[in-house]
Structure 1
Amino acid sequence: MIPTTQTFIHQLIEQAVHVGDIVVDATTANGINTRFLATRVGNTGRVISYTTTKDNANATAASLFMSGLSERVTLLSKTIDRQFIAELGLQNQARIVIFDYSSDSENSHDRPDDYLDQIDRVIPRLTHGGLLIIKFDDVPENWSVYSQSLLTADFQQANYKTNTTQTYLIERI
């Protein structure tokens, strides 16, 4: 059986995230990735979750509360911007950062024009061995140029494609 992209990503997260890690859901949308990450980081870890709509923030907050995971998540009603390093913590790095612009998270039409600027802010803050995961239903034209511009000495790349979604993995070496 071929796993869906959501199943594939969650299996990858299970292998990569350890109790106590800091992780980022850069595109919270329906909150599915935020909740899953919160189950993986344990009581000593932290999820930073960015959502651009009040409805998504409220729904995610309610879901986290009901599942007892609220204490593990910092939910921010904004996109990643120049305050990211302060929000992460000056000395902190992230194990995983997810940008999910796919139908899996009900976010396929919400990719902002500055998504590459947001990625540029987070990618240097990945731990060594940390992963940037980005999912698209429709891959933007500028993504290929961006991903090819990353130095192979600093990053390894892979992708996973299903009929509906393309998932790109960038690992900081």
Structure 2
Amino acid sequence: MIPSIETLAHQLIEQTVKVGDIVIDGTTANGINTRFLATRVGKSGKVLSYTATKDNANATAASLFMSGLSERVTLLGKTLDRYFLQEIGSQSQASIGIFDYSDDAQNKNQYPNDYTDQINRVLPRLKHGGLMLIKFQDIPTDWLAYLDTLIKADYAQATYRTKKETLFIIERI
């Protein structure tokens, strides 16, 4: 059986994230990825979760509360921006960053104009061996050119594609 993009992404998260890690959900939307990440980091870990709308923030907060995972998540009602370094901590590194622009997260084609700037803020804050997962329903026209700008000695890349979605995996070497 060929795994779905969501299944593969969750398998990669399970293999990479350890209890106590810091992880980032750059596009919270319906909160599926935030909840999954929160189950992986344990009580000593931290999820930074960015959601651009108040409705998504409220729905995710309620879901986290009902799941008993609220204490593991810092839910920020905004997009990832220039304050990211302060939010993660100047000496902290993340094991996973995820940006999900797919139907799974109800974020289809909802990437902001500065989505590559957001990704650029997170990439250098990944641990060595840490992963950036970016899911697209429709790949933006500038995305492949952006990938070409990444230094191959610093970042390994892989792509997984199904009929409906594409998962780009970037590993900090």
Report the residue type matching 1:3 in the other structure.
P
Deviant stretches of 4+, over 3 Å = none
RMSD: 0.5
Q: Give unmatched runs, 5+ long, in structure 2.
A: none
Task: Specify the alignment match of 1:5 in structure 2.
Answer: 5
Q: How many residues align?
A: 173
Equivalent residue, structure 2, for 1:165: 165
Structure 1 residue 141 displacement after superposition: 1.1
Say if 2:109 and 2:136, in contact at 8 Å, map to a contact too: no
2:42 alignment partner in structure 1: 42
> 1:109 Cα deviation (Å)?
2.9
Q: Which runs of 5+ in 1 are unaligned?
A: none
1:67 aligns to 2:67 (yes or no): yes
For 1:89, the equivalent position in structure 2 comes to 89
Structure-2 residue corresponding to 1:134 = 134
Letter in 1 for 2:110: D
1:152 corresponding residue in structure 2: 152
Q: 1:34: how far off?
A: 0.1
- CA distance in 2 between partners of 1:11 and 1:81 (Å): 28
1:57, 1:39 → 2: CA distance?
A: 18
Q: After TM superposition, give the deviation of residue 120 of structure 1 in Å.
A: 1.0
Q: Take 2:122 and 2:148, find their aligned partners in 1: how far apart are those partners?
A: 17
| Partners of 1:154 and 1:102 in 2: CA distance | 27
User: Aligned partners of 1:4 and 1:32: how far apart in 2?
Assistant: 15
User: Percent identity at matched positions?
Assistant: 65
With normalisation by structure 1, the TM-score equals 0.99
TM-score for the superposition, normalised by structure 2: 0.99
**How many Å separate the matches in 2 of 1:27 and 1:133?**
11
